[in-house]
Chain A
Amino acid sequence: MTTTYEPNKVLSNKEFKVVGTRPVRPDGADKVTGRAQYGADLQLTGLLYGKTLRSPHAHANIKSIDFKKALALEGVKAVVSAKDFPETKDTANYGLGDSPMNYFRGNILADKKVLYKGQAIAAVAASSVHVAEAALSLIDVKYEVLDAVLTAPEGMAKDAPILHDDLFTKEFEKQTKVNSNIAEHFQHKMGDIDEGFAGADVIVERTFDTATVHQGYIEPHNVTALWNDDDRIHVWTSTQGAFTVRAAVSEALAVPVSKIKVTPMEIGGGFGGKINVYEDPAAALLSKKAGHKPVKMVMTRAEVFEGTGPTPGSHMTVKMGATNEGKIVAAQANLAMEAGAYPGSPVGAGAMCVFTAYDIANVTIDGYDVVVNKPKTAAYRAPGAPNAAFAAEQVIDEIAEKLNIDPLELRLQNAAKEGTRRADGPIHPRIGCVEVLEAMKEHHHYQSPLTPAKNGGKVGRGVGIGFWFNIGMQSACNISVNNDGTVNLVEGSTDIGGSRASIAMHAAEVLGISYEDVKPQVADTDSVGYTAITGGSRTTFATGWAAYEAANDVKAQLIDRAATIWGVDPDSVEMEEGVLRSKTDTELNMSFKDLSAQLNDTGGPIVGRGAVDPSGIGGSFCGQIVDVEVDPETGKTDILRFTVVQDAGKAIHPSYVEGQMQGGSVQGIGWALNEEYYYSEDGRMNNPTFLDYRMPTSLDLPMIDTVIVEVANPGHPYGVRGVGEANIVSPQAAVANAIKSAVGARMEKMPMNPAAIMEQLWS
């Protein structure tokens, strides 16, 4: 069934000319003609090809590595291993917090120990990919295989094999003397949890397990690196943060950032998974050792699954209590998430989001970051929050069921508002939780009867709501005026989903010119100020803000220039809708276009700059309504109808906002129903292909209806909240709740594939 888009629920009352329209993206023509240059498309003179040798074991000591035979193969130019890293300091920080250098480097090229199957050990550069691959099979590595730990509960067990002999549990940064796989334990506490439960009429407690999943971007990681004869390094790569890559290469190789230039190529999806840096430092080392020849490395799909990502599996207990009237009075969560081989799971974020949609007086949340023999986890769209919401949003659903209250009504009754204190401490600023829930309740999907079954199965409806806090961080932007009344905009955020357009729209709005007159460009690290990752839903918010600042700088200079030309006081000149005019003398006016033509004769070029590290971040709420059909004979689940409602603050480019909502929701559906790393007992992933790691196809889905709610973020000039992530938080729970309503099975395991549903039905 095709449904037309809901009109947007607009609560911000500012009027805009460009903001809120849906222009075609500036890189569009290149991307529909095959001309856009992605990392793997790069060709350089004298190019060599690199390949990585990866561990076949999940946990093993490396006894020795012998390269003799590989080096003897014709066409092999260089090999590298951890031995090629220079002496350096103990801690690495490439813009995302501190980590011990041996952990950071260990995930690039393992030293004495491998901690997951697929971990990089060595790399080869050769005249072709085929030769490089042949050389890998000639490298002789001797291992001492150890027992593997594959889940958080296994890792936390008393007698678990220990991954790192230098890892001691931290308790909110207190270093304990316990050598264990628990890297960190933290706690958020508010009110009195025992008192809270004592006052509850119903209490629901359940334990949930979710599997490891991958971000699943279609473009594999790739890098080309040239360590030039003058010792300057140039890296071309597919990344969410060119400056992050620069810092990581600098930290790994102990080369100053001024000697490294990173050119971000077009990027074929990231979702958080292209923030971590993998083969880039090894490619640079290979380039140097091969006699300063450029080296290109492109991962295979299996390498992407086994060596990058994923987002963690988790083990979580959630307990909530409510009064008969439907007031939630206590909530407790115990969240353990797999960090993978090195500390750093997103459990902190999960803890921050688990009960954030609700106003609850008594809350305790414990989080555990547990290392296991799986790839080091990477961010994946609202990292940690979907796991937590899968648990909490099902427990709430069960409370609603027990109290016989409509599930959206129960959520509305307890919804967080401006002024509500979150369990981790801070107070919510203006948020759109209530508005999102109301829009869901009023939506004709929620108002209409269940979608009829297509194949004679049982149908059910579920809802869920999720939160993501979003981030700010540094962004820079320059705008220079062309003499034909257009501007060039240079920014540093790699564009994964149309952000060039939304950033350009900020500038066009300020200058009062058309969107087409702003030409945005993503620059390399030598050509623009420091700009943090495209991630955390920050790009439109922060880099858009930098563009807003740069455009205002241009505007101020234009006003000055017009005043000079007219010989009047700049304070008496204003610029509105692309026209400069005197506030007092109606004779004095001039279009931006006319002024731009005169710049070179009246004082020279005008260049504006914007550099920000903004506060005023606005978190986003997003909810889903889903109708499913479950075949009670097989457990197969089909999505019949799906509606997603999100608070965008202000949708700069509504089509791209809808795209984020649809994309995030569908990733959530895949996570809910199918996706999982399927492990053998000794820690090998059994399904590292798109055939067996099954992501949703067009055939698995209906249209994804969207409603954009706009509760303006007072912290941004146009009211923007980030929209990239909140949409993946609760689809899993909404699907689980729909399955429960269809067949009566409460799903405590994810994915909810046919086997899991049948198991639950028979139990």
Chain B
Amino acid sequence: MDTASANDFDIRDYLRVELLPHFMCPGCGHGIALRALLWAVHDLKLAKDRLAIVSGIGCSGRVGAYIDANTFHVTHGRPLAFATGLALARPDLEVIVITGDGDCLAIGGNHLIHACRRNLHLTCLMFNNEIYGMTGGQVSPTTADDRLTTTTPYGNAEPSFDACALAAAAGASFVGRGMTLQTVALKNLIRDAISHRGFSFVEVISDCTEIFGRKNDLGSSPEMILRQKGSMKPDTYGNVVDRPFRPNAVQTGVLARNDRPEYGDAYRAAVLGAAGAAVAG
């Protein structure tokens, strides 16, 4: 555990404190995820002026506004598209996308798979709370079987996505999963994802306590976050409980990683290089 880093990390150095109190419900996992991100930014000593946060629409997307950086709150499902333009035009910026399970996998699914394939240097953090939190708790592409939501009043019959498997299959060169239960591990994972040169996808297991938790009688927020433990399958110790909160035990940590060429570098080397030679010749 990075105690040194924990000691000199003060989240207020990275927040627009004048905006507090924030909008999130008590116990919402998104705040913990935000803290892990800012802690990782601190560890990496990233300059706030060079940091660009692009977020989508949802409770997850609203988190971006609290960060003391260049923050862009765009349209529902499209943050990866905006971030692609921004990162290609401004390779000097560190561009981080914050998105939700609905934002990223439903309306933004096509952008996700192509961002993975392109492998542009971006970090995509998907806050997965298994629900459309912002709109009042409708079913999402990651809602587990049988769960009650406001649009699955009889239980969910649709199978859910494994976002990490999807991202890895589509070619993301860094794929990882962390949970708000383990903030240090999550912080380290996000730190490694940002450091990785290429497209990094991190699924953050988060909780919508107020809507999803209540609807499914999952208890208070401490109870909900402790349930994450029951569903995880960490690399270090393989404790899988009988009835996990999520349908299958989920693996955490770095799940896929490779060094294939980063798109911006490849474009600049191959295309700009060739065009430059053509101009000179």
A and B associate in one complex: no
Interface residues of B (CB under 8 A from A): none
